[in-house]
Each structure stands twice: as structure tokens, then as C-alpha cells.
């Protein structure tokens, strides 16, 4: 009996060793379970985002048509004005002088017409009786005709003078919002001076550009034979403002420039948004969102992926183990899912979550 020589300590060591081996064997035989999903094609909607500059439907520079000094400023910056409303009054001594001169010329011409008319009326009966010659009558009649023509010319000059004087009242050609006013009372201005701008913001225009490749991706999935037909079939777009809020109204892309900029390879777009409450102002900026339908897409949760050296991978489940697979993805608007464009196919099985605890070639059990 050799066991007797081991003693209690040796026996304990044998027992512990035996128990430890059993535990190690049990750990090795336990296969962890992970959720596994089978990929199938489905329809999804991507979002293409582009920075935009916002302008009023009409941004009008307000300039005086005559030289003079600003006599009155009828509006304030940011005021809402109507078409035809007076914005500024210009003090133009020259325009006033020309108006007075034209009025005096009309009065003088009227007097000459009346004098010539009196002469004709006086000589007409004498000519009829043969007391004076017909030549004298015709001469007086021609003088009347000349006086009437001079009166019409004076009236035309008066009309021009009145129009010029009317330009001392600078009005808004459109309804909209007044911009900054760089000039103040007493400032000398001329027809090159921009007194302010009036932006018609009943609807606003947003301008943005995209690459030639992105343009082709959009147009190739749209119905229509011509570009105009395809533009008409474009989906409505949304606008994200500078404070990250979404604008309440949706817009529509109206035009696509027919020329690609050679320096940047980009194409200019213009989208129009209604602005019934005047929320949008000319000069604002934001981000336009164009939805793009994707048919037969492979959608996977972002939790099913991991990164390695700035590349995105997923674990493909094959048999009873996993293999890492490099994939190309696009982020969906929910911020939680990807569309896989390369690396996986319909019917493939991938680990759906918990990938951070896995390693290449590990055996796992699929959890339903």
C-alpha cells in the first residue's frame, strides 16, 4: 500500500489536481451563444446631405435714381414692407429746380397758344371777307400750330421733370424684408449708392452643389427621359437649419445646372422652400437633405460591426465558428444601421451583437 506513504497532504494535492482538471475540461467544452441574423434584401431610404446658402426669391438692391441728400428714412432695418412703399426721401435741389422750370415753360407755352389763337380768331373773318389775304391768315394759323406744338413739348418736359422729382421718393419694387441701411440722414447719395436691400422671402431659394458621381447616382434611379422630367420626379427635400432644427416646410429641387465646374467637378442645384411665416431670411445657411430610395438593400445593425485600422468588419457565421469579413457600408438616417454595399450577400449569417467579445475563428452557438 504505497498510498499510505503519501500522507494527508499528498492525498489532498492529488484530489485538488483531479478537481482542477475536471473544471478545465468543462470550460473548454462550453460553447458561448450569440445572436445570429440571416441577411435578406429589403428596401431602405438613404439621406444625402449638402450644405446650402439661402437667398430670398428676390434680393433687390435699392438705389436712388438721382443725386441728393437723404432727407427722410421711412423704414428700419428688418422691417416688413410692401411693394410701392416709400423707403427713403431724397432732397434733390436740382430735381426741384427742373420741375419748377418745366412748369413755368408749360405756362409760357399755354400763353403763346392763347395769343396765337386770338390772332387767328381775329383775322379769320377778315380773311373770309377778303380784307386781308389768305397768306396772312395761313401765317397766323401756322403760328398757332407752332405754339400748340411748343406747348406739347413743354408738357413732355414737365412729365420728365415730374418723374425725376418723383424719384426723390425711393420706393420698394417688391414686398419683403428690409436689410441693413448703411446711410443716415444727410448722407449724399447717387445712383451708384445701395441704400438697402429688400428680400422677398415669401419663398426662399437654396443653392448647393454635388459631385458628378452623386448626380449620376440620383438621376439613374429616376423615371423620365429628359433631365427636366427626372427633376420633376425628384422627391421633396428637407432643410436642417444652423441650430440643428428641422425646418417645418419641405422643398422641391427646381433646377440643375447644365454644366459641370471643371475645377471642382461639381454641379449646382437650386431648391425652393415656401416661407409663409418668414422664418427663413436671406443669408441664412443650413443643410439640405435629399432622400434616396435603395431597393434590395442589405441592412445590418451597427452593433454587428467593429473597426480595425479605420476599416469596418463583421463576423460571418460559418458552420460552428466565425470569420471576420471586411465590408463597405453607408449609414442610414436612424444612425443605428448600415446598408452594406460590399462584403456580404443575401443569405449570409452574421453575429448581430456582442462582437467586441469575440475573436477570429472562435466557435459559437447561434442564438435564435
332, 305 contact by CB (below 8 A): no
Rounded Cα distance between 314 and 304, Å, is 6
Q: Which residues pair with 211 in a beta bridge?
A: 266
Q: How far is CA 295 from CA 46, 163, 327, 331, in A?
A: 10, 64, 19, 15
Rounded Cα distance between 167 and 64, Å, is 7
What the block records as the C-alpha cell of 227 is 433631365
Q: Classify residue 70 by its DSSP letter.
A: E
Q: What is the pLDDT of residue 29?
A: 64
Range in 168-182, 213-227, 229-243, 281-295 with the lowest mean pLDDT: 213-227
Residue 198: count other Cβ atoms within 10 Å of its Cβ: 27
Rounded Cα distance between 80 and 174, Å, is 11
Q: Decide: helix, strand or coil at residue 360.
A: coil
- Let me know how long the chain is: 368
* CA dihedral (321, 326, 332, 334) positive or negative: positive
> pTM of the entire structure?
0.59
Looking at the chain, the whole-number percentage of residues with pLDDT higher than 70 is 91
317, 335 contact by CB (below 8 A): no
Cα angle for residues 150, 117, 141 (degrees, 5° grid): 75
> In the predicted model, is pLDDT for residue 15 greater than 80?
no
For each of the domains in the chain, give its residue range(s) and CATH number, in order of start: 33-43+296-367 (2.40.420.20), 49-56+200-295 (2.40.30.170), 64-90+168-193 (2.40.50.100), 93-166 (1.10.287.470)
Q: Which residues pair with 337 in a beta bridge?
A: 301
* Stretch (H or E) spanning 135: helix 134-166
Of residues 354 and 29, more confidence is placed in 354
Average pLDDT over residues 147-176: 92
Q: Decide: helix, strand or coil at residue 304.
A: helix
Q: Which residues touch 175 (CB under 8 Å, ≥6 apart)? A: 80, 81, 82, 83, 200, 202
* Stretch (H or E) spanning 232: helix 227-232
**What are 94-139's pLDDT values in tens digits?**
899 999 999 999 999 999 999 989 988 888 888 788 888 888 888 8
Range in 26-30, 115-119, 257-261, 312-316 with the lowest mean pLDDT: 26-30
Average pLDDT over residues 277-282: 84
Cα angle for residues 345, 350, 351 (degrees, 5° grid): 165
Rounded Cα distance between 53 and 59, Å, is 13
Residue-averaged pLDDT of the chain: 86
Percent helix, strand and coil across the chain, each rounded to 5?
A: 30, 40, 30
pLDDT category at 231 given cuts 50, 70, 90 is confident
Q: Decide: helix, strand or coil at residue 141.
A: helix
Amino acid at each position: 500500500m504505497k498510498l499510505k506513504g503519501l500522507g494527508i497532504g499528498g492525498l489532498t494535492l492529488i484530489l485538488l489536481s483531479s478537481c482542477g482538471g475536471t473544471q478545465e475540461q468543462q470550460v473548454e467544452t462550453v460553447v458561448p451563444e450569440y445572436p445570429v441574423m440571416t441577411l435578406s434584401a429589403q428596401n431602405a431610404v438613404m439621406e444625402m446631405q449638402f450644405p446650402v446658402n439661402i437667398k430670398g426669391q428676390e434680393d433687390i438692391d435699392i438705389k436712388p435714381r438721382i443725386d441728393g441728400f437723404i432727407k427722410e428714412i421711412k423704414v428700419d432695418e428688418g422691417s416688413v414692407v410692401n411693394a410701392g412703399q416709400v423707403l427713403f426721401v431724397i432732397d434733390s435741389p436740382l430735381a426741384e429746380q427742373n420741375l419748377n422750370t418745366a412748369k413755368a415753360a408749360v405756362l409760357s407755352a399755354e400763353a403763346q397758344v392763347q395769343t396765337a389763337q386770338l390772332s387767328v380768331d381775329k383775322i379769320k373773318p377778315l380773311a373770309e371777307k377778303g380784307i386781308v389775304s389768305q397768306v396772312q391768315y395761313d401765317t397766323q394759323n401756322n403760328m398757332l400750330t407752332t405754339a400748340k406744338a411748343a406747348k406739347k413739348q413743354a408738357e413732355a418736359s414737365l412729365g420728365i421733370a415730374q418723374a425725376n422729382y418723383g424719384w426723390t421718393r425711393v420706393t420698394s419694387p417688391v414686398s419683403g424684408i428690409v436689410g441693413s441701411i448703411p446711410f443716415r440722414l444727410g448722407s449724399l447719395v447717387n445712383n451708384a449708392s445701395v441704400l438697402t436691400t429688400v428680400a422677398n422671402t415669401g419663398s426662399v431659394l437654396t443653392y448647393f452643389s454635388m459631385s458628378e458621381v452623386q448626380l449620376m447616382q440620383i438621376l439613374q434611379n429616376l423615371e423620365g427621359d429628359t433631365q427636366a422630367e427626372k427633376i420633376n420626379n425628384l422627391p421633396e427635400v428637407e432643410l436642417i437649419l444652423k441650430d440643428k432644427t428641422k425646418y417645418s416646410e419641405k422643398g422641391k429641387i427646381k433646377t440643375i445646372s447644365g454644366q459641370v465646374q471643371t475645377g471642382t467637378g461639381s454641379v449646382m442645384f437650386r431648391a425652393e422652400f415656401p416661407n409663409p411665416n418668414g422664418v427663413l431670411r436671406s443669408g441664412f445657411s443650413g443643410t439640405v437633405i435629399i432622400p434616396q430610395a435603395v431597393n434590395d438593400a442589405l441592412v445590418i445593425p451597427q452593433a454587428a460591426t467593429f473597426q480595425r485600422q479605420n476599416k469596418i468588419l463583421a463576423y460571418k457565421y460559418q458552420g460552428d465558428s466565425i470569420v471576420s469579413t471586411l465590408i463597405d457600408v453607408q449609414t442610414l438616417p436612424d444612425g443605428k444601421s448600415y446598408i452594406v454595399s460590399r462584403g456580404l450577400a443575401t443569405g449570409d449569417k452574421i453575429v448581430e451583437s456582442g462582437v467586441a467579445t469575440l475573436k477570429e475563428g472562435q466557435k459559437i452557438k447561434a442564438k435564435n
